[in-house]
Structure 1
């Protein structure tokens, strides 16, 4: 399919469905681990370290996977710019599913000793490699198929897979706390959500195999213009842009991982903590807030087509800052309603700073190296932002005895993201095809005329 023969409405709908289903499955797998880390992994895999250190190690295992996202991004970026977007989407989906299912059958420390946490971390690393490569492909499939004036809305389709994944992961875990309460959840209940991944991966694989390749990549391939070393070319010409784009995402990601990284779930449900809510109500509150995140993410994609990516982002970071400042006072209310209100308010800001990201990133980089640019910026941003956010938050509370330090940390990351997005020129609606490489190569970073 060339760019002259635009995708049909039916094909675009199929791409939207495929990206939503695929990213939902990917992030379900990723978030099930993060939630389980906050709820049970400290006890099951790191208990000999002692209660406090076990919690830090469990959250640290969540963060370790982020260090390997760049590896997934580098490999996927090379393959995606050389051989196409679709093949990468299928490969990453299968890798994530296999790693998740294996965690579901992994013996605990009590059964096999030190090998248990070692194997757990290795499987989490595989999840990180998959996540590092998956997002860029999903983003480009949706944005490069989209009508120019609706690119933000179409680009929001892989983005809503994240709150959908969180909703599904939290919902299944909450259900299992009811089906297998107390010791039964520790014994076997937590494993069911991981094993469910096998079914979800089969569905996601079937859906993703059914979509056409991106028309931008098809055009590049037809002209034999694929880049031999896209990653090297990216860093040779666009390093400042990669850094700024990564900081934009870091500002969102650090705050988002208060829930997606399992920190709030652990903090609010800790029997020895200041809140002391049950696991079930906490998980249901997170599940409900994910619906708010989903709606605001979708709305933000739509708004960015009308207001521009930069304006939508800037407004979103302001709302996110307000959500950060009110989060812990509401969590400390100690009721289901106050927890839900705090998480929901935060989720509005998270959605406004996440919905436009796919279109923003796609419009920043030239077509021939776009997969590499999008994936690597995203991976670096996730390390700077969410990788160790739950671990940092836990350490700050242990050191200071107060969540005020966590609020300062999250507010600082939000302001960093706002500053980064203000450094970018708005390129809403720029042509994405290979005929416009020269226009795309002009740096969108203020102060840099050309890459």
Structure 2
């Protein structure tokens, strides 16, 4: 497909390659910033918020209350998917990505200034909840646009999994930066970490937002959306239309993510509460281990995205779901030894099964939806998983441990998520190496083999 912009001449091959590079860089840096914001909140929740905003509660109850605020961000993500999916399919990927970046970044910056319970009582928690909801709306609209901005600039069908995996790279990069910022301030502020040290990483997020905004303002709209615009194929209500036409794909996309979402937030967010409170492990050991795990994903996410181009998107994803379901038992076996070395190894290895799914996941989900409904469908399917898996995971893990007093109860929950994801992924269509530039419901002429078909 020749890359064009509305009202413009087709781009040369060199210009198209340049735009692909810009789109990938803009998407990756943008998602890194947004996930830094989101994970910063996740990390600080387990370390700080229960103590500062629910000081009168029992420690376990306070942890549950803090994670309830944390879960609000996940509940808000489908709301963001619905809002920005609509506009992403109506006015384009680029404009939507700029708005989501600003929304997420400003809400995170504001967290730095929220007074504690000691200053304004329960209103501190109320303000945190509102800001967390705004964060969730922003990140809910971010993912779909970032993935499509990269994937729809891909010049061949053979490398779409690899290209689409780069916005996914923003997750470990954001996780790395968030944990690095907290670790650095933990060392710098020492005993004053609970007083002011935890606020600094939130404050610094405004610098990252400025960088991301500058980059995103200098990219073009994707060729696929430009083609839809030129052909006047834009839907008036894309979110309602995708719910009518592809409800099964939305549901399967959400359930397929359970093995990726739930373990990830247990292994990178709940672990701080479990490690510090239950195992008596140092905060800095856990932060360092999560840092190392995120660095490993710098390489494994693009690797498994590339492998999905070779062996098939769906097959690669199902291998990852099976690995994630089993690994939960190994994880808690190692962590429960209380040996710092084994804890470090467990946390680092925990994100390998995640990478096996997260690398091919962007293309697997986004390819499932026809172009004019792709932002809405992919965003909604992806973000619904935050309600059924990511958000509740630390809450469920806390409740299971409180009842059974065993990490293996949590591992059983991880296994159940793995089984559900395997079933859902097996039912998703596989568009590996298929053409996605045409609308899937267009009639095909005889001999036309370029149209996208899911393999059964």
Shorter-chain TM-score category? over 0.9
Q: Deviations over 1:398-430 (max 9, x none)?
A: 111111110100110011111111112321122
Q: Which residue of 1 is the match for residue 447 of structure 2?
A: none
Say how many residue pairs are matched. Answer: 441
| Preserved CA contact (<8 Å) 1:156 1:356 | yes
Q: Which residue of 1 is the match for residue 316 of structure 2?
A: 312
Q: Which residue of 1 is the match for residue 68 of structure 2?
A: 60
Shift of 1:343: 1.5
Q: Which residue of 1 is the match for residue 165 of structure 2?
A: 156
Q: Which residue of 2 is the match for residue 449 of structure 1?
A: none
Q: Deviations over 1:171-207 (max 9, x none)?
A: 111111111113x000000001100101000011111
* 2:291 paired residue among 271, 287, 300: 287
Q: Which residue of 2 is the match for residue 263 of structure 1?
A: 270
List alignment gaps of at least 5 residues for structure 2.
Answer: 445-449
| Preserved CA contact (<8 Å) 1:300 1:352 | yes
| Preserved CA contact (<8 Å) 1:81 1:227 | yes
Q: Matched residue of 1:225: which SS?
A: coil
Shift of 1:321: 2.5
| Preserved CA contact (<8 Å) 2:431 2:453 | no
Shift of 1:442: 8.5
Q: Which residue of 2 is the match for residue 41 of structure 1?
A: 49
| Preserved CA contact (<8 Å) 1:152 1:302 | yes
Shift of 1:311: 1.1
| Preserved CA contact (<8 Å) 1:241 1:445 | no
| Preserved CA contact (<8 Å) 2:85 2:379 | yes
List alignment gaps of at least 5 residues for structure 1.
Answer: 447-451
Q: Which residue of 2 is the match for residue 215 of structure 1?
A: 223
TM-score by length of 2: 0.93
Q: 2: distance between equivalents of 1:279 and 1:320? A: 25
How do residues 216-255 of structure 1 correspond to structure 2 at under 5 angstroms? 216-255=224-263
Q: Matched residue of 1:70: which SS?
A: helix
| Match status 1:351 vs 2:358 | no
| Match status 1:136 vs 2:140 | no
Task: Evaluate the alpha carbon distance shift between residue 435 and residue 241 of structure 1 in structure 2; reply closer, same or farther with a 3 A threshold.
Answer: closer
How do residues 32-431 of structure 1 correspond to structure 2 at under 5 angstroms? 32-147=40-155, 148-182=157-191, 184-260=192-268, 262-270=269-277, 273=278, 275-431=279-435
Q: 1: distance between equivalents of 2:326 and 2:95? A: 41
TM-score by length of 1: 0.94
| Preserved CA contact (<8 Å) 1:256 1:350 | yes
Q: 2: distance between equivalents of 1:386 and 1:441? A: 35
Q: Matched residue of 1:90: which SS?
A: helix
Q: Matched residue of 1:257: which SS?
A: helix
* More displaced 10-residue stretch of structure 1: 241-250 or 33-42: 241-250
Q: 2: distance between equivalents of 1:321 and 1:115? A: 40
RMSD of Structure 2 on Structure 1 (CA): 1.8
| Preserved CA contact (<8 Å) 1:363 1:430 | no
Shift of 1:434: 3.5
Shift of 1:322: 3.2
